Amino acid sequence: MQIKDVYDYLRALLRKDERSERALEITEDAIDLNPANYTVWHYRRQILKELKMDLYDELKYCGEIIQEHPKNYQVWHHRRVLIEWTQDPKEELKLTENVLSVDAKNYHAWQHRQWVVRTFSIWENELSFIDQLLQEDVRNNSAWNQRYFVIYHTTGFNDAVLEKEVKYAQDMIRKAPNNESSWNYLRGALLEKDLSTHPGLMEFCEELYGKSVRSPYLLGFMREIYEDRLEQGCENVEDVLYKSLVLVEALAMEFDTIRVEYWNYIGRRMRERYAPKNDESEEAGAASAAMEVPAK
């Protein structure tokens, strides 16, 4: 059939709301031509329901379209509705795993997987699946996000879990210190904690720093620990402020130069907030003002 014929035929059937086998077939032709047409999918679902079609056949068909068009919103939505109807999620982990084996960051696949895992409480093997993905590519940010999602919805970040997750992130950082995703996970897991008092964090940073690691994420993390000390009202304010401004300058001038304006801004903000405001510290203020890095 010509494209125009398919559409003319479909329009005629839609107007009558005919729910028949031939209508089901024509939706398939229309989906072939344009899988993004949400009306066609909706019509197809009405027919499936009315004719009490075998939903497992439909799941198979839907899976094929997903493999062909893995970034199509409508077909993933169709999948979800079918699973709501069957209440049978057993193919879904495999399906999303297949899609993720081609594109490990496919947002639709992760979204579907999260919905399935959560709706049907299939948490058992999720962490080992994620671990396998991170062994393949430690920079897979979607996998790190899934890790957070799983912990958050199962055990939560209680003290024991937190310790384990911090260690996990730290091990991954040691392998690839320039990886934003693992640093973000470490920082995110510790969100509720004070960075300056949580045990072991500065030691971990100093270990890397001592091995000449100068990842911007390392320097930024150390700066945050220092800022937290200042925020908590530490005693040696000028010393801590000085150390953090040295880090900020290193970021601006050498290790994260694309963000020179940002790091200068952070430096200014820290001086405003924490530089002692009495007379004798004017010199210190002048000294740190002199450290201001000019924009390139």
Partner 1 sequence: MAAPTEDEFLREKHIKFFNRCIDVLPHQYSTMDTNRLTILFFAISGMEILNSLDTIKNKKEEIVDWIYSHQVLPNESASNLSNCGFRGSATIGAKFNPTQTSCEAAIAYDSGHIAQTYTGLLCLIILGDELTRVNRRALSAGLRALQLEDGSFKATLEGSENDMRFVYCASSICYVLDDWTGFDVDRAAHYIYRSQSYDGGIGQGPGLESHGGSTFCAIASLVLMDRLHMTFSRVELDRIREWCLLRQQTGFQGRPNKPTDTCYSFWVGATLKLLDAYDLINQHANRTFVLSTQDTVTGGFAKWPDHHPDALHAYFGICGLSLLGEEGLGKMNPALNISDAAAQHLDKIHQTWRAS
Query: Measuring CA to CA, which residue among 5, 38, 8, 10 is closest to residue 24?
Result: 10
Residue 185 Cβ vs partner 1, minimum distance, rounded to whole Å: 7
Closer to partner 1 at the Cβ: 193 or 281?
Answer: 193
**Hey, what are 248's tokens?**
């900020």
71 is known as an active-site residue: yes
Closer to partner 1 at the Cβ: 140 or 288?
Answer: 140
Query: Measuring CA to CA, which residue among 146, 108, 152 is closest to residue 128?
Result: 146
Cβ atoms of residues 233 and 276 within 8 Å: no
Residue 281 Cβ vs partner 1, minimum distance, rounded to whole Å: 26
Annotated catalytic residue, options 71, 90, 167, 175:
71
Closer to partner 1 at the Cβ: 186 or 205?
Answer: 186
Residue 105 Cβ vs partner 1, minimum distance, rounded to whole Å: 7
Closer to partner 1 at the Cβ: 56 or 73?
Answer: 73
Cα 174 to Cα 71: distance, rounded to the nearest angstrom: 34
Cα 35 to Cα 28: distance, rounded to the nearest angstrom: 9
Query: Measuring CA to CA, which residue among 86, 85, 78 is closest to residue 27?
Result: 78
Chain positions contacting partner 1, by CB under 8 A: 3-4, 7, 10-11, 14-15, 17, 30, 33-34, 36-40, 42-43, 73-74, 76-77, 80-81, 105, 107, 110-111, 114, 118, 139-142, 145, 148-149, 152-153, 179-181, 184-185, 187-189, 191, 258-262, 265
Cα 221 to Cα 48: distance, rounded to the nearest angstrom: 55
Residue 276 Cβ vs partner 1, minimum distance, rounded to whole Å: 23
The angle subtended at Cα 114 by Cα 112 and Cα 118, nearest 5°, is 120
The catalytic residue positions are 71
